[in-house]
A and B are shown apart, each in its own frame.
Chain A
Amino acid sequence: MAAATRREVEPDGTSAHGRVPWWARVFAYGFVALLLVFVFRDQEWWPLTSWHLFSHVRSDIARSYEVRSVGRDGSVRPLRFAGLPNGAQLENRLLPHIGTLPAARQRSTCDTWLKLAQQRGDDVVGLRIYAVQRKLPRGDGKPGALVAQQLRLACGEAS
């Protein structure tokens, strides 16, 4: 191959038969334009993305969701995800985005968590999901103080 290409080479080192075909030109311009469209229209169609990486300013308030279980006697305590099937994934991957799910999906998710907790043997008749705001701890190991909370969803006898 090298011997063949050597004969096609101009004195300045470029290939005389190396022009870009028209379809490659169309592709190159089209592809770059597509990347920019996703940036400026703020759209996500993975792997095409708008490249939001830490773009929102963080403050001393951390916003998250917390799930609390309601027992038969009415006592309320945090739901322990550890020990549920795929508990870590549910807590770390799904819970932070539960507010972005369609309403029907949110309800079915809550119902499933309730069922999983009951199957584990927890004393639980209902679940409440709160949107909470906590002060961010400053690395001193103390938990952040609760600033605000709002009930977003409830299922079972807690609803």
Chain B
Amino acid sequence: VTSPTVEQTSTGRRSWLEALNPDRALFSPSSERRLAAVRTGLAAVLALRLLFRSVSLLSHTPDIAFQPPPLLDWLGGMPPFGVLLAIQIVGVAAAVAAVLGRRPRITFPVAWMALLFLGGLKVALGKILHNDVPLLLCCVPFLIAPVTTDLRSRVRSERFGWPVRVAMITIAVGYWAAGYQKLQISGIDWVTGSNMRWVMYAAAVPPSRAPSTALTLFIADNAWLAHLVAGSILLLELAFPLAVVFRRLRPYAIAGVAALHIGTWLTLGLDYWGWVLTVFVVFANWDWLLDHLGERYPRWRSEGV
């Protein structure tokens, strides 16, 4: 049985003014199974982010290089390897338990705190890092949201909708702000000047972190391509909030984010896979996905209403 969804039926009729109503943006109804799927997905990304990090490298930080963020200012220095490893193991175990729906009220926050701690320690090496920021911030509403693990329930309510909506807006604020800061600090010169070419040339200086400098130098050597790349990035960032309002734009937003961050890895060697997964988990049409997956896996088949 398929029930018409409030979001689907009203989107076409919604006026711009209605769509921009902050109460509507934050508190639109959503299905119970979408809330469960997003929480499960975020727990899976937490598990991966915790698993794929070297606490050994972290533990070798000399005290003179230890500059913790305010959150971890109470630490006198980098904790020993054994403590870091224990936090990593507990964090991964808690995240896996949250994915499996075991005591999510406890396991999800434990996994989140483990990543907050280990991510903060990485920042303590002296540079503000954003690799884990969207994931950590998106998880915040789920720390206090209703706990549900039912991937079959189509019941819709504002109560199930607001945590997902807050996570969406968090990501949208992040991308929009990244674009806003570029315009605020550098102006349109960020696109029309030689900025992107020099970003690429700097990234190609040995020892480059990029898997290969061929693409990096190809963009740097072709001014028109560098302008196109810069313009596309700025457009994606500034327009990202539209994906919160217009659900039809969400697949394009996910594809754009994937292209941006895969491109960043190929050209600059900077690793933002956590952003791509977080955006996918939060913006994916889980009702549609679970319907299709339910044809294969009866556990996820909708019960209807």
A positions within 8 Å CB-CB of B: 1-2, 5-6, 8-9, 12-15, 17-21, 24-25, 27-29, 31-32, 35-36, 39, 44-60, 62, 85-86, 89-90, 93-94, 96-97, 101, 108-109, 112, 136-139, 141, 144
* Given known A-B contacts A15-B157, A20-B159, A27-B144, A57 and B186 have beta carbons under 8 A apart: yes
* Chain B: minimal CB distance from A11 (Å): 9
Contact status B130-A137, CB under 8 Å = no
Tell me whether A51 and B178 are in contact in the complex, defined as CB-CB below 8 angstroms, given that A12-B4, A18-B29, A28-B27 are known contacts: yes
Nearest 6 CB-CB pairs, A to B?
Answer: A18-B157, A15-B157, A51-B177, A46-B69, A58-B198, A18-B159
* Minimum distance in angstroms from A50 CB to a CB of chain B: 7
CA–CA, A97 and B29, complex, Å: 46
Give every chain B residue within 8 A of A25 (Cβ-Cβ).
Answer: 27
Q: A2-B152, A24-B145, A94-B126 are in contact. List 4 more A-B contacts (CB 8 A).
A: A14-B29, A19-B158, A35-B137, A46-B133
Interface centre among B29, B170, B217 (most CB of A within 10 A): B29
Please determine whether B181 and A55 come into contact, CB atoms closer than 8 angstroms.
yes
Whether A141 lies near B69 (C-beta < 8 A) is: no
Determine the distance from Cα of A25 to Cα of B161 in the docked complex, in whole angstroms.
12
Is B18 engaged at the interface, CB distance under 8 Å to the other chain?
Answer: no
Chain B contact residues: helix, strand, loop or mixed: helix
Q: Cβ of B201 < 8 Å from any Cβ of A?
A: yes
13 sampled A-B residue pairs with Cβ under 8 A? A2-B153, A2-B303, A12-B4, A14-B6, A18-B160, A29-B22, A44-B128, A46-B71, A47-B116, A53-B181, A86-B60, A94-B65, A137-B201
Task: Known A94-B126, A137-B205; judge A39-B160 contact (CB<8 A).
Answer: no
Interface of A is mostly: loop
Asked if A58 and B126 make an inter-chain contact with CB atoms under 8 angstroms apart, the answer reads no
Contact A108 B64, CB 8 Å, known A53-B181, A58-B199: yes
* Interchain pairs with CB closer than 8 A, number: 202
Establish whether residues A141 and B27, one from each chain, have CB atoms under 8 Å apart when the complex forms.
no
We find that the number of chain B residues with CB closer than 8 angstroms to chain A is 81
Chain B residues with Cβ below 8 Å from A112 are: 62, 64
A53 touching B125 in the complex, CB below 8 Å, given contacts A15-B157, A15-B159, A136-B198? no
Q: Is the CB of A89 within 8 A of B174?
A: no
Taking the closest CB of chain B, its distance from the CB of A115, in whole angstroms, is: 10
Contacts of B194 in A (CB 8 A): 59-60
Which of B29, B71, B182, B220 contacts A54, CB < 8 Å? Answer: B182
Chain B residues lying within 8 Å of A17, measured Cβ to Cβ, are 157, 159
* Min C-beta distance of A93 to chain B, whole Å: 4
A97 to chain B, nearest CB (A): 5
B26 close to A28 (CB less than 8 A): yes
Known: A24-B144, A47-B132. A32 touches B220 (CB 8 A): no
